A and B are shown apart, each in its own frame.
Chain A
Amino acid sequence: MSILIGADTRVIVQGITGRDGSFHALSMREYGTRVVGGVTPGKGGQDVQGIPVFESVKEAVAETGAEASVIFVPARSATAALREAAEAGLPLVVCITEGIPVLEMLANYHYVRERGVRLIGPNCPGLITPGQAKAGIMPGPIHMPGGVGVISRSGTLTYEVVYNLTRGGLGQSTCVGIGGDPVVGTGYLELLEMFERDPGTRAVVLIGEIGGEEEELAAGYIRSSMSKPVVAFISGRTAPPGKRMGHAGAIISGGKGTAEAKVRAFQQAGVQVADRPDQIPALIRRRLGEP
C-alpha cells in the first residue's frame, strides 16, 4: 500500500520536450511508472522515445486517461502549466519547478484547491512509491519498498534519509517532497493524515527545516491525532537569522522559524528528533519495538 501514486497511476509530463522534462520522463518510465504522455504546446504529435507528446493537458487526458501530471516547465510558465493541469481535472499535480514568486503561488494555491486538485510542490523533488512508481526526480535505486512514509521539504536531504533507511533495512511506503518554498500545495498535516490512514505505512519520518511554523503545527497534529510513530529531523540548526538558506522558505525571521523551536515542539509532542540523518533508522526501530 501507499499514498497518492501506485503502479497503476497514469502519469503525463508537462514540458516533456525540455532537457529536464525528457530526461526525467524517461527515468520515471524506466523506474516502472506508467508514463502515458507528455505536453509541450507546439510539439503535439511528436514523441519522446515512444512517449506521445500532446498540444494540451486536456488533449493528453482525453487520449490517455492520465490521472497525474509532473510539471517541468520554467518558473515563468509554471502558473500557466499549473492552471492548465487543474482545469483539465487531473486529481494530482506535481510541480518540480523552482523560483515561482510567492504571491503568484498564493493565487495558484487557491485556484487549484477550488478545482479539487491535489498539488505537490512547487520547488520539490516529487514523490515515489518504491517498487511501483515515481513522479519526480529522485534517484530510484536508493529506495526500497516497505512501511516507512517519508515527508520532507527538501530534495537531496530526503535522499540522504532514504539512503539511510534502506541501508538500515527499512523500506518506504511513499516518499513525498512537499517543496522548499514558503507556500506549497500540500503541507505536512494532510500527508500525515494520509499516512495515518494508509495500512501500508507503519511509521513516518518527517524532515523539516528552518522557516515558517508548519513543523510546529505538525507536532500538534501528531500529538493529538497520530497513532503511528513519527521520527523527525530538522535542518538549519546552524543557520544565521535573516539569511535565506537556499530554499526560499528557509529563513529565520523575527525570531520565528528557528530550528530550536521546531525541535522543542516535536519533543513536547513525544516525537523523537534525530541529531543526524544516520540516527533515524535506529530511532524508528526503537519506536516500532524492533531490535
Chain B
Amino acid sequence: MKLYEHQARDLLSAAGIPVPPGKVAQSPEEALGAARELGLPVMLKAQVLVGGRGKAGGVKQARTLEEVRARAREILSLRIKEVPVRRLLVVKAADIRREYYLGLTVDRTARKAVAIVSASGGVDIEELAVREPQAILTAHIDPRGPDQAELGRLLARVFPPAQAPAALRTLSALYELFRAKDASLVEINPYAELSDGSLLAVDAKVILDDNGLARHPELEAYRNAEEYSAEETAARAAGLSFVSLEGDIGCIVNGAGLAMATMDQIKLFGGAPANFLDVGGSSSPEKVLTALNILRGNPRLKAILINIFGGITRCDDIARGILIARRQADLRLPLVIRLIGTNQKEGAALLAGEGLTALEDMSEAVRKVLEESRA
C-alpha cells in the first residue's frame, strides 16, 4: 500500500526525523490559510500516488499570497497521469544547498533489507541507477539488526563530516520505521542540506507491505479509498484480488499466475483484458457470485471469461456460483467458461443441466470469448 507524501512525512516526523513545517489543503482558501500560518515563501505540492508530478506541474513555489491562491487553483485542477489532484501539501520553502538521497528497501535476491544512499538526490533514483549507477551506494542490513558502524562508514562516503552524524541518526530512525511498520520501501528524496548546514526530509515516500497490514490496524486509516476503482474496493471487501484494466474482456480466474497468463493470452490473440481477478484458492460459490457482480458493473465489458484450474478450488463450487449469479440477475453478457481439474465432471454436469458448456482447453476458451465479444 503506497502512502501519500503527507502521510509518509507524518510517519517520518513521528519517528523523529526533521521535516519542513507543512499543512494539507483541499482548496485554494485552505492553501492560503496554511501559507499565512507557515509564512512565505511556500511550496505547493500535489498529493498523488503516481510518479512524475514535478514534470506534470504538480509542484510549485509561491512567494506571495496571490501566487499561493493562483498556483493552488492551478494544481488542484490538474490531472496527473489521469489522476485528479484532490489535495495539496503546503510546506515552508527551504533554502536548499545540496540534495541527497536516503532509502531502505528489500533486496529480494540477497533476502536482506538494504540501505541506499546517494549524493545525487532530488532526481528519480531509478533513472539515476540506470544513468549513473556509481552514484548510488548500498549496504545490506544484518537480519539481526543494523550495524551502526557499517552504516556510519556508508554515510561517510557521501556526507561531509559535519553532516554525517545527523544523517546516521536519520537513517537509523528510518530503518526503525521501516521495520516497525512492515514497510517495503521508505525513501527520503531529497534529503536536503540547508544553508545553515542542517538536514531536512523535504520529500518522503513510504510503501507498506500489504501482508503486514494485519499487524498494524492503525495504518489501515491511511488507506486511500479514492486511489482504487469502485470495483477494486468491492473486490477487496470480498477478499478477491482485483486490478482494473482498460480492455473489454472480463476475467475471472483462480490463482494469480494463471490470471496473469489469461490476460496475456487475451492480448496475444488480439483482445484486451478488462481486469485482473483472482478468486483465490478454496473458492466458494459466493466468491464467484461476488466476482461476477463486480465485473457486471463495468459498462465497457463485452464478454466474460471464467478460467478455472481446479486444485483446492473445486469446479463444482465454481459452477454453482455461476448458476446462482445467473438466477439472481440476468447476465446479458456472453460468458465463456473453462473448467478443468478437481471435480471437473461434476462442474460441467451442473452447467450442462442449465444449457451452459464448459470448455477444457485454455486457448480454445480465449479464442471463443474474443469471438463472442465481437459478435
Contact = CB atoms under 8 A, between A and B. Distances in A.
A248 B254 CA distance: 16
B261 A137 contact: no
A142 B309 CA distance: 11
A104 B212 CA distance: 9
18 contacts: A20-B312, A102-B212, A103-B178, A104-B212, A156-B311, A157-B255, A158-B257, A212-B109, A236-B260, A237-B260, A238-B266, A239-B260, A240-B245, A245-B259, A246-B255, A246-B256, A250-B260, A276-B265
Interface in B215-260: 215, 241, 243, 245, 253-260
Contacts of A62: none
Contacts of B243: 239-240, 243-245
A209 interface: yes
B134 interface: no
A248 B209 contact: yes
Interface in A265-291: 275-278
B142 to A, nearest CB: 9
B340 A238 contact: no
Contacts of A154: 255-258
A193 to B, nearest CB: 16
A137 B310 CA distance: 11
Interface in A76-102: 76, 98-102
Contacts, number: 176
A93 B253 CA distance: 29
Given A155-B281, A156-B313, A159-B309, 10 more contacts: A182-B108, A209-B260, A235-B264, A236-B264, A238-B273, A240-B245, A244-B210, A245-B259, A250-B260, A254-B125
Given A155-B255, A238-B267, A106 B111 contact: yes
A255 B260 contact: no
Interface of B: 2, 50, 106, 108-109, 111-113, 125-126, 130, 143, 178-179, 182, 184, 209-212, 214-215, 241, 243, 245, 253-261, 263-268, 273, 276, 278, 281-282, 309-313, 340-342, 361-363
Contacts of A248: 209-211
A240 to B, nearest CB: 7
A153 interface: yes
Contact of B211 (A99, A152, A157, A214): A99
Contact of B311 (A138, A181, A210, A244): A138
A212 B212 contact: no
A275 B269 CA distance: 11
A130 interface: no
B113 A180 contact: no
Contacts of A250: 256-257, 260
Contacts of B276: 239, 243, 245-246
A250 B305 CA distance: 22
A102 B112 CA distance: 10
A31 to B, nearest CB: 13
Contacts of B340: 163
Contact of A247 (B143, B257, B273, B313): B257
A126 to B, nearest CB: 10
B348 to A, nearest CB: 16
A217 B278 CA distance: 28
A155 B311 contact: yes
- Top 9 A-B pairs ranked by shortest CB distance? A154-B257, A246-B256, A156-B255, A157-B257, A254-B126, A101-B212, A235-B260, A156-B258, A246-B241
Contact of B113 (A75, A106, A138, A278): A106
Contact of A101 (B143, B178, B215): B215
Interface of A: 20, 75-76, 98-104, 106-107, 109-110, 125, 137-139, 142, 152-160, 163, 180-183, 187, 207, 209-210, 212-214, 217, 233, 235-240, 242-250, 254-256, 259, 275-278
B111 A109 contact: yes
A238 B342 contact: no
A226 to B, nearest CB: 19
Contact of A235 (B50, B254, B257): B257
Contacts of B361: 278
B309 A156 contact: yes
A238 B263 contact: yes
Contacts of B253: 156
B141 to A, nearest CB: 9
Contacts of A156: 253-255, 257-258, 309, 311, 313
Contacts of A246: 241, 255-256, 259-260, 276, 278
A238 B259 contact: no
Q: Which interface residue of A106, A125, A213 has the most chain B CB atoms within 10 A?
A: A106
A237 B265 CA distance: 9
Contacts of A137: 281, 311-312
A244 B362 CA distance: 24
Nearest to B310: A139
B211 A160 contact: no
B341 A214 contact: no
B311 to A, nearest CB: 5
Contact of B260 (A102, A242, A245, A278): A245
A96 B119 CA distance: 43
A20 B282 contact: yes
B258 A157 contact: yes
Contacts of B258: 154-157, 159-160, 235
Given A139-B342, A244-B210, A159 B260 contact: no
Contact of B257 (A98, A138, A152, A244): A152
B109 A180 contact: no
A106 B106 contact: yes
Contacts of A125: 311
Contacts of A247: 256-257
Contacts of B179: 103
Q: Which interface residue of B125, B259, B340, B342 has the most chain A CB atoms within 10 A?
A: B259
